[in-house]
Chains A and B, each alone.
Chain A
Amino acid sequence: MAASSRSRITKSSTAEYFAKNLQQVGFSSPTKAVLTTLKESIDNSLDACEEAGVLPEIYLKIERRGKGSLKNTERIYIQVRDNGPGIKPEDLSKVFGEYLASSKFGRGRCSRGQQGIGISAATTWAQQTTATGAKVISKTKSMRKAVSVNIEIDLKNNMGRMKSKKSIDWKYQQGTQVEFLIDGRIQLNGEAGILNFIRGNILLNPHMRLVYQLLDQDEKVIERVSDDVPKVPGAVMPHPHTMKLGEFITHGSLYGREKVRNWLKKGFSRLSDPAIKGIFSEAKLPKSKMDMSLAKVDEKFMKDLYAGIQDYTLKPPATNSVVAVGEEALSKSIRRLGEIDFISVQTRKPTICDFKPVQIEVAIARLKGSSSDSDGSAQVLRFANRVPLQFDKASCAIVKSIQKVNWRTYSLRQSKGSIPNGPYIIAVSVVSPFIKFKNASKETIDAAEELVEEIRRGLMQAGKKLSKHLKREIKARDLKDKIEHIQQFAPILVESLCGITKASAATRKKATDGLYKILDKDSEKAKVQLDEAALKLEKHLSSQLEKMPSVFENALELQQEDDEENLSSGSKKKTAKEIVAELTDMSQFDDDDEEDVKPKKSKKKTAKKTNKKTKKKAKKVAKKATKKKTTKKIAKKKTKKTAKKVAKKKKGKK
Chain B
Amino acid sequence: MATRSASKGNSKTSKEVIRFSKEICEKMLKDLERARRPMLQATKCSLDNSIYNPSKGFLVPGDKKVKTELNVSSVKKMSRAIFMLEIMLHNLESGAVKTKRELYYIAKGELKQNKKLKPLAFEDENESNAIISFICEMMECYREDFNCIANDRGGQTYSQQLIVVETLPDGKKATVDLSKLGSLPYMPQNRPQNLKLKTKGKIDFGLIVESEGTAKTLVLNGMTKRNKCIVIGSQGVPSNGVRGWVKTIQDQLKIPLYFFGDLDAYTLQNIYRTLKAGSASSLIRNADYCAPDVKFLGVLPEDVERLDLADYPVKETDVSEVRALKKARDAIKNDPFFQNKKNKKLRDILKWLLKEKRRCEQQSFSMVAPRDPIMPEKIILEKIKKRQYI
Chain A residues packing against B (C-beta within 8 Å) = 482, 485-486, 488-501, 503, 507, 510-515, 517-518, 522, 526
- Which bracket fits the contact residues of B? 20 to 34
Residue of B nearest to A511 (CB): B32
- B357 CB contacts on chain A under 8 angstroms: none
Asked whether B116 lies within 8 Å of A492 as measured between CB atoms, the reply is yes
A507-B29 contact in complex given A500-B89, A518-B37, C-beta closer than 8 Å: yes
Q: Is B75 an interface residue (CB 8 A)?
A: yes
Residue of B nearest to A495 (CB): B116
By secondary structure, the B interface counts as helix
- A-facing mask of B49-84, CB < 8 A → 1, else 0? 000000000000000000000111001101100110
Interface residues in B18-62 by Cβ distance below 8 A to A read 21-22, 25-26, 28-29, 31-37
B225 to chain A, nearest CB (A): 54
- B83 CB contacts on chain A under 8 angstroms: 492, 496
Residue of A nearest to B23 (CB): A501
A522-B82 contact in complex given A500-B21, A517-B35, C-beta closer than 8 Å: no
B88 to chain A, nearest CB (A): 10
Asked whether B71 lies within 8 Å of A522 as measured between CB atoms, the reply is yes
- A485 CB contacts on chain B under 8 angstroms: 72, 75-76
Asked whether A493 lies within 8 Å of B79 as measured between CB atoms, the reply is yes
Give Cα distance in the complex from A45 to B173, angstroms: 104
Interface residues in B79-111 by Cβ distance below 8 A to A read 79, 82-83, 85-86, 89
Across the interface, B32 reaches (CB within 8 A) one of A494, A499, A500, namely A494
Give Cα distance in the complex from A500 to B21, angstroms: 8
Residue among A486, A507, A512, A518 with most chain B CB within 10 A: A518
Residue of A nearest to B72 (CB): A482
A503-B116 contact in complex given A485-B72, A493-B78, C-beta closer than 8 Å: no
- B34 CB contacts on chain A under 8 angstroms: 514
Give Cα distance in the complex from A510 to B29, angstroms: 9
Give Cα distance in the complex from A8 to B3, angstroms: 107
Across the interface, A500 reaches (CB within 8 A) one of B31, B72, B75, B85, namely B85
Asked whether B82 lies within 8 Å of A489 as measured between CB atoms, the reply is no
Across the interface, A501 reaches (CB within 8 A) one of B29, B36, B70, B79, namely B29
Asked whether A488 lies within 8 Å of B119 as measured between CB atoms, the reply is yes
B162 to chain A, nearest CB (A): 42
Asked whether A493 lies within 8 Å of B21 as measured between CB atoms, the reply is no
Q: Is B120 an interface residue (CB 8 A)?
A: yes
Give Cα distance in the complex from A507 to B78, angstroms: 19
- B85 CB contacts on chain A under 8 angstroms: 496, 500
Residue of A nearest to B117 (CB): A492
Asked whether A510 lies within 8 Å of B33 as measured between CB atoms, the reply is yes
A514-B75 contact in complex given A491-B116, A500-B82, C-beta closer than 8 Å: no
A-B contact pairs, 15 of them (CB 8 A): A482-B72, A485-B75, A486-B75, A488-B119, A489-B76, A490-B75, A492-B116, A492-B117, A492-B119, A494-B32, A496-B83, A500-B85, A500-B86, A514-B33, A514-B36
Give Cα distance in the complex from A489 to B80, angstroms: 9
A486-B72 contact in complex given A493-B82, A500-B22, A517-B35, C-beta closer than 8 Å: yes
Asked whether B79 lies within 8 Å of A496 as measured between CB atoms, the reply is yes
Asked whether B25 lies within 8 Å of A500 as measured between CB atoms, the reply is yes
- A497 CB contacts on chain B under 8 angstroms: 25, 28-29, 32, 82
Asked whether B22 lies within 8 Å of A492 as measured between CB atoms, the reply is no
Residue of A nearest to B31 (CB): A514
A523 to chain B, nearest CB (A): 9
- B29 CB contacts on chain A under 8 angstroms: 494, 497-498, 501, 503, 507, 511
A495 to chain B, nearest CB (A): 8
Asked whether A507 lies within 8 Å of B33 as measured between CB atoms, the reply is yes
Residue of A nearest to B70 (CB): A518
Give Cα distance in the complex from A491 to B76, angstroms: 11
Asked whether B116 lies within 8 Å of A501 as measured between CB atoms, the reply is no
Residue among B31, B79, B85, B86 with most chain A CB within 10 A: B79
Residue among B22, B37, B82, B120 with most chain A CB within 10 A: B82
Asked whether B35 lies within 8 Å of A526 as measured between CB atoms, the reply is no
Give Cα distance in the complex from A495 to B117, angstroms: 10
- B72 CB contacts on chain A under 8 angstroms: 482, 485-486, 522, 526
A349 to chain B, nearest CB (A): 46
Asked whether B26 lies within 8 Å of A501 as measured between CB atoms, the reply is yes
Residue of A nearest to B87 (CB): A496
Give Cα distance in the complex from A374 to B191, angstroms: 54
